[in-house]
């Protein structure tokens, strides 16, 4: 374990903790950092806290690695990007969207290895629904403009989560997000007037932000909207 890894596990840290600020990170350029479980590493996208933290990360399980039984006081949301994740309740292949509500507990593992997008401690305390969706089999629906398809994943209050698929050359009108927007590019290249975002990119656009997105070559993105408050937490 290097010094940066130890810092994450022992001290409260702030990384992109002020969600009033726009952030764009190419996760593929970040270093892998050790977790408390042997064989499980992560790339940190945002973090407020120590080992128990409000966090968004890309997490990689080596074949045969596992986490000990643990609970999620503020819930856990994840998307399996590659490989197969498992726990006591099931097996989740690539493309699975999973929500474990606040207070839930499990002991996840991966026999063959996997890579995940993981969000911790970010659910509403009253959002008790456990969600498991195989996005490789679920239906796509027409979007608001030609060339867009949408797969709704979850909604609670103002929060909405979906996959959005952009055909090559699709453009969307300029629009704002009163409750903020968060994007992870699963495949292809997503674009707006602020930049170009290849697969593995994570974006957070703050409440009230405006942009005009498009995709010249086509892409698929995970999108969450309406979940960011106008004020920041204790580390902000």
Whole-number Å distance between alpha carbons of 49 and 58: 17
What is the residue-averaged pLDDT of the chain? 91
Residue 22 tokens read as: 């726009």
Nearest-Å Rg of the Cα atoms of the chain is 17
Per-residue pLDDT at 235 exceeds 70: no
Whole-number Å distance between alpha carbons of 64 and 186: 25
Please tell me the predicted confidence (pLDDT) of residue 182. Answer: 97
Long-range CB contacts (within 8 A, 24+) of 84-90 = 84/110, 84/111, 84/112, 84/114, 85/61, 85/109, 85/110, 85/114, 85/116, 86/110, 86/111, 90/132
pTM of the model: 0.92
Please tell me the predicted confidence (pLDDT) of residue 50. Answer: 72
What is the average pLDDT across 140-164? 97
> Does residue 80 sit in helix, strand or coil?
strand
Higher local confidence (pLDDT), 127 or 235? 127
What is the average pLDDT across 84-106? 96
* Burial class of residue 224 (count of CB atoms within 10 Å of its CB; 0-12, 13-18, 19+): buried
**5-9, 151-155, 187-191: range with lowest mean pLDDT:** 5-9
The model's confidence at residue 126, banded by pLDDT at 50, 70 and 90, is very high
Please tell me the predicted confidence (pLDDT) of residue 229. Answer: 82
Assign domain 3-14+29-134 to its CATH superfamily: Jelly Rolls (2.60.120.10)
Quickly name the fold that domain 141-225 has: Jelly Rolls (2.60.120)
Instruction: Kindly report, as residue ranges, where domains of CATH 2.60.120.10 are found in the chain.
Output: 3-14+29-134, 141-225
């Amino acid at each position: 374990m290097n010094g940066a890894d130890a810092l994450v596990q022992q001290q409260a840290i702030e990384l992109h903790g002020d969600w009033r600020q726009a952030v764009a990170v190419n996760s593929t350029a970040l270093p892998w950092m050790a977790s408390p479980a042997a064989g499980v590493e992560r790339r940190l996208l945002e973090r407020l806290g120590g080992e128990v933290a409000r966090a968004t990360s890309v997490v990689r399980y080596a074949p045969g690695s596992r986490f000990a039984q643990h609970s999620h006081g503020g819930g856990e949301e994840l998307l399996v990007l590659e490989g197969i994740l498992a726990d006591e309740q099931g097996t989740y292949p690539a493309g699975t969207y999973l929500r474990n509500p606040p207070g839930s507990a499990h002991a996840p593992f991966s026999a063959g290895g996997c890579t995940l997008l993981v969000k911790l401690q970010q659910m509403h305390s009253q959002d008790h629904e456990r969600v498991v969706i195989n996005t490789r089999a679920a239906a796509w629906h027409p979007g608001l403009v030609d060339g867009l398809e949408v797969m709704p994943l979850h909604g609670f209050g103002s929060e909405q989560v979906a996959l959005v698929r952009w055909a090559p050359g699709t453009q969307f009108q300029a629009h704002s997000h009163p409750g903020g927007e968060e994007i992870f590019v699963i495949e292809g290249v997503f674009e707006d007037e602020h930049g170009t975002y290849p697969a593995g990119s994570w974006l957070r656009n703050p409440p009230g932000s405006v942009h005009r997105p498009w995709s010249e070559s086509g892409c698929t993105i995970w999108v969450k909207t309406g979940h960011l408050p106008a004020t920041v937490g204790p580390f902000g």
